[in-house]
Amino acid sequence: MRGDNLYYDDDYSGVVQCFTMTGSGDMTRRGTIEPTDEERYMYTTTLTQDVRDSFNQRGMFYWMALGITLLSDGRVGCVYDLPWVFEMSNGDYAFFNFPAMLVRDEADLLPREPVLPDEHFFDDMDEVESYFSNFNIIDSTRMLFGMKKLSWPIDGFEEFTGNPDHDAFMDEFYERGTPCLELVDVKTGKSIKRFGNLPEAQAKTKTGYYFFNPTVDSHGGEVVYSDSYSGEVQLADNATPWDVKRTYRAFAPDPERKPAMDTTKFYTLEYASDYYPYFCRSIQCMKLTDDKIHVLVKVSYSLAHTTKERIFEYSVIDRRSGEVETSFRVGKEFDDEYMIAAGLSDDEEPVLFYLSERGGRYYMTEVSEI
């Protein structure tokens, strides 16, 4: 949220929903942000119209809204995965998805120039690395990509079992490095540097990148980022985010919730399920200010719990002392409310709010005090 405008990526419709606050306090739906026809097919231009229509009719194209970045100049950036399909030399077709940040003007939601990775961005991608599609612009010239090695539980990991460069159940996997982020030039889409490693909590539990969803925010030439599940937050300069100036801790996984490692479940999703209570907290968003780091945390004790009513906690870290000076669970205003989501606004001083359903109507409530 920024000012009176609210945006969220809707998992069900696959688009970004846009609302605005009226003078009476109601939220009115402004429209959606979704790819134009030109944007939908920007990575399929080598296909003929007939081939493209055939694939489309068979439901072989996917457009996925992955996240939102509110840009500093009154624009909204929406990260989408778009179909990338081409014909190979043997006549078969290769299907992938390729990321793009679609940009809209906040005033009218009309398309602006998208932010794209360089067309050769993945040319040097060897079997060691794969990439997430989420990225965040941190200033006018740089953005951060989330990345991960090709390993369990990604499809096809089986062929790498026993290979220490890929096998998340081997100690050597973590000793050889587990890069997490990539700094990219906004104008050219070219990679500047890959950096970072999974925190010790993931290495000790041998959960690899399963509990990993990078969260980023920037302010005043500085950036904070986190893997989200370990509770660690790194502070650095935008130009050199790999050079960490200070590490903060929003929370720590509860050691009493850490299960005994069951080696019979290695390479299965059941193995990850055992660790949901341990990695029950994850940072949903952060807001960096001159003297604070505002952190919103989601709490989920199991995979099934993520589909039930959401639980959120809010913390404020003092940048000078490193201490968490404020921390509380986000409570509902009414007992019969169903809490759907929560967020921090993108204002100079972030506003904590939550979205809820009550009696068939939807509400946005600002949380002004504990």
Domain boundaries, the chain: 1-114
- Specify the pLDDT at position 368: 77
Question: Cβ(146)–Cβ(134) under 8 Å?
Answer: yes
Question: How far from chain centre, in Å, is Cα 56?
Answer: 27
- Specify the pLDDT at position 335: 87
Q: pLDDT tier at 151 (50, 70, 90 boundaries)? A: confident
Instruction: Kindly tell me the burial class for residue 55, based on how many C-beta atoms sit within 10 Å of its own C-beta (0-12, 13-18, 19 or more).
Output: middle
- pLDDT above 70 for 308: no
- pLDDT above 50 for 128: no
Query: Which range in 10-14, 264-268, 305-309 is most confidently predicted, on average pLDDT?
Result: 264-268
CB contact set of 132 (below 8 Å; sequence gap of 6+)? 145, 146, 147, 148, 214
pTM summary value: 0.89
Query: Which two three-digit tokens encode residue 345?
Result: 């606004």
- Specify the pLDDT at position 124: 58
Q: What is the mean pLDDT of the chain?
A: 89
Question: Cβ(283)–Cβ(226) under 8 Å?
Answer: yes
- pLDDT above 80 for 131: no
- ∠ CA(93), CA(94), CA(100), 5° rounding? 130
Question: Cβ(235)–Cβ(217) under 8 Å?
Answer: no
Please give the Cα distance from 15 to 109 (Å, whole number).
13
Q: pLDDT tier at 10 (50, 70, 90 boundaries)? A: confident
- Tens of pLDDT, residue by residue over 35-75, are 999 999 999 999 999 999 999 999 999 898 988 988 888 89
- Tens of pLDDT, residue by residue over 185-233, are 988 888 899 899 999 999 999 999 999 999 999 999 999 999 999 999 9
Among residues 120, 151, 32, 121, the alpha carbon closest in space to that of 80 is found at 32
Q: What is the mean pLDDT of residues 116-132?
A: 65
Burial 330-341 (b: 16+ CB within 10 A, else e): beeeeeebebee
- pLDDT above 80 for 121: no
3-state secondary structure of 3: coil
DSSP assignment string, 140-193? SSEEEEEEEES-TTSTTGGGGTT-TTT-TTSHHHHHT----EEEEETTT--EEE
Query: Which two three-digit tokens encode residue 274?
Result: 């055992």
- Specify the pLDDT at position 23: 81
Question: Cβ(256)–Cβ(249) under 8 Å?
Answer: no
Q: What is the mean pLDDT of residues 318-334?
A: 93
